Structure 1
Amino acid sequence: MINNKSPIKPRTISLFSGCGGLDLGFHQAGFDIVFSNDIEKTVEATYRHNLGEILIKDITEVDIDSEIPNDIDVILAGIPCQPFSSAGNRKSMDDHRGGLFESVMNIIDKKKPKVVLFENVRGFISSKDDKGMPMPQRIENELFEHGYRTYWKLLKASDFEVPQNRHRVIIIGVRDDVKGDFVFPSPISSSDLTVSTVINNSILDDEKFEVWPLSPQAQLLSSYIPAGGSWKNIPDDVLPERLKRIRKEIKRYRSPNFYRKFNLDEIMGTITAAATPENSGILHPFENRRYSVREIARFQSFPDDFKFLGDSIPSKYKMIGNAVPPRLAYHIAKSVLEQVF
């Protein structure tokens, strides 16, 4: 432990807040979120309804002195992860994201919090900056130069009460004058986290049909797939030409598992922002549809009283898929609270 436990509520600012998954977990653990920011207008109504005020503005244009409070204990920063995703092209730090990171470091320099938290996708570990340096090392070097020692770990959400096999890289920077080493929370034993625990509980009537419809082609392909199955169950004569070509050279394509339907006794795979049936487990095991907004929110461990607002159903899938699971955030937050404050 770094320090004895304290009843204080650490003053926290949240950058790249999204709809508030990370913030909700920290709030539930006893942190006071005094400032939140995101550039995405579609998350504003949801964040305000559930968590409070949020400034919708490009972080590079936020005035650190006049718009961000002082006396800050913690900074949370989920820098956009798409360039690091294993599913996409991994860009270097020599792009707009480099400016975002610089803005965060400027805020850290001025506010001097005790703790800084960065989070990102698993692909972040093998991503490199514009000089070829692995990103975890780059972040560690940057934080060291700014007066912080760094601890990082790849955590699996299902180890922390989240019914989903999702991985996030968590990087903790602790200010040099805070004594002791930070220790990440250990996996905890949980009740049943399988698909059945999520979809077999009733959903409020006004949310039951909040579902993003499948395209006609996806609906046709899905109709051939049983629970626990995938595109491998679809007959050749029904497959689109592109998937036929992949099937013929499946080893070359590393045996992809498109159109996956997780069975009731399995733990759900990663919920993605795109919610595409081809590349994520977004398909309901028994009904020929995507999971509903509320169902995927449950897979992300959002409580049922957390409401997702907005006119666009696809935007709700996106904000949920981009979020840090609140229960994972809660357990990280508890560790920070117990060890630093």
Structure 2
Amino acid sequence: MSDKIESKYKVVSLFSGCGGMDLGFKQAGYEIVWANDIDEDACDTYEKNIGPINRGDIAQYDIPTFEHTDVLVAGFPCQPFSNAGSRKGTSDPRGMLYEHTFKFIDKLSPKAVVFENVRGLLSTTTENGKLIDELVSRLEKDYGYHVSYRLLNLSHFGVPQNRIRVVLIAIKNANYIDHVFPEVVDDKDLCIEATLKGINDKLPNQQELMKLNPQALHYGSMIPEGGSWKSLAYDVLPERWKKIRDNMAKYHYPNFFRRYARDEIQGTITAAFKPENAGVWHPTQDRIYSVREIARFQTFPDEFIFEGRTIKSKYQQIGNAVPPLIAQKIGMQLKSYFKNTAVTELKRSKIESTLLNVNQPISNQKISLSLF
């Protein structure tokens, strides 16, 4: 039985992107048996670093058949729920892609389900109410899972950026549901300087920078370390920014052109990666971060190479990804759950077998009598 417990657990991955979630589970010792994504560039990256992936619209694929599936992971598209996206929710066709996860769950009956998404998921509504409540209800009532979801700042778990995401985990055993999330860590230096230590031009993707327009470069170069557009004198601002500065409350106090200081934790790496709306400026150099540098913030190892037809695509792949480190930590927690459950089931089986033998009629039991 111990060999069975130690064997690799099987993962089915939906909306896999370039493979952040899958890489984390692989690092935790899992085997990815099926993956899918529609983005060709992301699929190129996935195959370069992780393995085969089924390309194209998930709706066009027959659900695979496996002897068993341990974990189904799904990071269904977040743009419909994101503040940085359209916020159209389920009225956006992409906002209904989560329905495919239930088709897979229905057929594969995984032992555990892991969803990851932006915090906007919690406020997204459908005709039945909040989407998050619908997801939980269906997992519990239709499939018998016990479900827990949390809004996590991933920096609390060792990811070097203030990235806030919803993580939902569903398992079959209620006794373990409070123990499947990773523990908070507080002994790791997550500042930008520490995160980018050792970066050099020989690393893959390090010399790839997204091109900016001259105006963006002009204003970005004037922002001091630790500052933003608010650090600039009023008279150097373009007219559009002056109007915003004159009525900050109306525009919800935007913080354009944020340049984090070396001793700060990086803000959220987004797929949009717009220099105005995201803190993507290098602390000390007059440029934005390279592809390799933002991969560091997302905890991709330096040997993980990003493919794609454009540099912009590589930024998008990384911004859309689940940081492998948080996926690895979740994978390790689930691994402990699987092992403990297997041991418990083995003990229960032995006890039931013993009780069955004890309760058999005497005529069916083998009894040896010694005659003297």
TM-score, normalised with respect to structure 2: 0.85
Does the 8 Å CA contact 2:205/2:306 hold for their aligned counterparts?
no
Unaligned runs of 5+ in 1: none
Aligned to 1:190: 187
Does residue 60 (structure 1) correspond to residue 66 (structure 2)? The answer is no
Aligned to 1:143: 139
Aligned to 1:153: 150
1:1-341 → structure 2 map (5 Å cutoff): 6-65=5-64, 69-97=66-94, 99-131=96-128, 133-144=129-140, 145-175=142-172, 178=173, 180-182=175-177, 183=179, 184-205=181-202, 207-341=205-339
Q: RCO greater where, 1 or 2, for CA within 8 Å and sep 6 or more?
A: 1
* Separation in 1, partners of 2:231, 2:33: 51
Kindly report structure 1 stretches of 4+ aligned residues shifted beyond 6 Å: none
Does the 8 Å CA contact 1:203/1:294 hold for their aligned counterparts?
no
SS in structure 1 at match of 2:125: coil
Q: Check 1:84–1:303 CA distance in 2 against 1; reply closer, same or farther (3 A cut).
A: same
SS in structure 1 at match of 2:132: helix
Q: In structure 1, what residue type is equivalent to 2:175?
A: G
Q: In structure 1, what residue type is equivalent to 2:25?
A: F
Aligned length in residues: 332
* Separation in 2, partners of 1:35, 1:139: 23
* TM-aligned CA deviation for residue 204 of structure 1: 4.1
Q: Check 1:287–1:59 CA distance in 2 against 1; reply closer, same or farther (3 A cut).
A: same
RMSD: 1.7
SS in structure 2 at match of 1:118: strand
SS in structure 1 at match of 2:280: coil
* TM-aligned CA deviation for residue 249 of structure 1: 0.3
After TM superposition, the structure 1 stretch with the greater mean CA deviation from structure 2, 202-211 or 215-224, is 202-211
After TM superposition, the structure 1 stretch with the greater mean CA deviation from structure 2, 8-17 or 143-152, is 143-152
After TM superposition, the structure 1 stretch with the greater mean CA deviation from structure 2, 262-271 or 323-332, is 323-332
* Separation in 2, partners of 1:311, 1:62: 25
* TM-aligned CA deviation for residue 246 of structure 1: 0.9
Aligned to 2:368: none
* TM-aligned CA deviation for residue 289 of structure 1: 1.1
SS in structure 2 at match of 1:106: helix
Is the radius of gyration larger for structure 1 or structure 2?
Answer: 2
Q: Check 1:99–1:126 CA distance in 2 against 1; reply closer, same or farther (3 A cut).
A: closer
Does the 8 Å CA contact 1:29/1:330 hold for their aligned counterparts?
yes
* Separation in 2, partners of 1:139, 1:146: 11
* Separation in 1, partners of 2:151, 2:226: 27
* TM-aligned CA deviation for residue 94 of structure 1: 4.3
Does the 8 Å CA contact 1:196/1:264 hold for their aligned counterparts?
yes
* Separation in 1, partners of 2:274, 2:335: 37
Q: In structure 2, what residue type is equivalent to 1:140?
A: V
* Separation in 1, partners of 2:321, 2:95: 21
Does the 8 Å CA contact 1:79/1:101 hold for their aligned counterparts?
yes
Does the 8 Å CA contact 2:271/2:316 hold for their aligned counterparts?
yes
Q: In structure 1, what residue type is equivalent to 2:60?
A: E
Does the 8 Å CA contact 2:205/2:305 hold for their aligned counterparts?
no
Aligned to 2:347: none
* TM-aligned CA deviation for residue 274 of structure 1: 0.9
Does the 8 Å CA contact 2:11/2:69 hold for their aligned counterparts?
yes
Instruction: Provide, for residues 193-234 of structure 1, a one-character-per-residue CA deviation record: whole Å limited to 9, x for no partner.
Output: 101012332324254421112211110111110110001122
* TM-aligned CA deviation for residue 46 of structure 1: 0.9
Does the 8 Å CA contact 2:295/2:318 hold for their aligned counterparts?
yes
Q: In structure 2, what residue type is equivalent to 1:276?
A: K
Q: Check 1:208–1:75 CA distance in 2 against 1; reply closer, same or farther (3 A cut).
A: closer
Give percent identity, aligned residues only: 46
Q: In structure 1, what residue type is equivalent to 2:143?
A: H
Does the 8 Å CA contact 1:116/1:172 hold for their aligned counterparts?
yes
Q: Which has the higher helix share?
A: 2
* Separation in 2, partners of 1:94, 1:147: 28
Q: Check 1:6–1:238 CA distance in 2 against 1; reply closer, same or farther (3 A cut).
A: farther
Does the 8 Å CA contact 1:213/1:289 hold for their aligned counterparts?
no
